[in-house]
Amino acid sequence: MTDRAARVRKQILEQASRIIHDKIKDPRVGTGFVTVTDVEVSRDLRHATIFLSTMKGGITRQKSLEALEHAKGYIRTELGRSVRMKYLPEIELAFDESVEEGDRIERLIKEVRAREEADGQT
């Protein structure tokens, strides 16, 4: 990643977080505790994918995504006010599966350790 792409990525990450937390008033977003976990920008800086995570899964996650998809134009407009670029990237929103995958792996490790301890005690 170039220095410029890294700077743009960092700015979008910071500003998207601020916009989602401070400016989006949709209750579907507030109740889902949405967090911006990462941003990927294309080499030409024309596209950016904003990765999100929620503390709750299932329907809350889906409703949060629907609310943010509905507000995507507003998010991009607000990004345009705070991120200085000749062309503001088109944004896509996606949930970051790595957080849930990490939780799943941690649960599996705990289960294996619990079984090992139980087998060792018998």
- CATH code of the domain containing 37: 3.30.300.20
Whether residue 74 lies inside any domain: the answer is yes
Angle at Cα 28 formed by Cα 99 and Cα 97, nearest 5°?
A: 15
> Per the structure, how many domains does the chain have?
1
Query: Kind and range of the H or E element at 115?
Result: helix 97-121
Whether residue 64 lies inside any domain: the answer is yes
Whether residue 67 lies inside any domain: the answer is yes
This prediction's pTM: 0.78
pLDDT value for 122: 52
pLDDT tens, residue by residue, 69-80? 999 999 999 999
Instruction: Say how many C-beta atoms besides its own lie within 10 A of residue 118's C-beta.
Output: 9
What distance in Å separates the CA atoms of residue 109 and residue 112, rounded to the nearest whole number? Answer: 5
What distance in Å separates the CA atoms of residue 41 and residue 66, rounded to the nearest whole number? Answer: 22
What distance in Å separates the CA atoms of residue 61 and residue 32, rounded to the nearest whole number? Answer: 6
Whether residue 108 lies inside any domain: the answer is no
- Structural domain boundaries, residue 16: 3-96
Q: Is the pLDDT of residue 85 over 60?
A: yes
Whether residue 121 lies inside any domain: the answer is no
Whether residue 112 lies inside any domain: the answer is no
* Of the candidates 45, 42, 44, 40, the residue with the CA atom closest to the CA atom of residue 13: 40
pLDDT tens, residue by residue, 36-52? 999 999 999 999 999 99
Whether residue 106 lies inside any domain: the answer is no
Whether residue 116 lies inside any domain: the answer is no
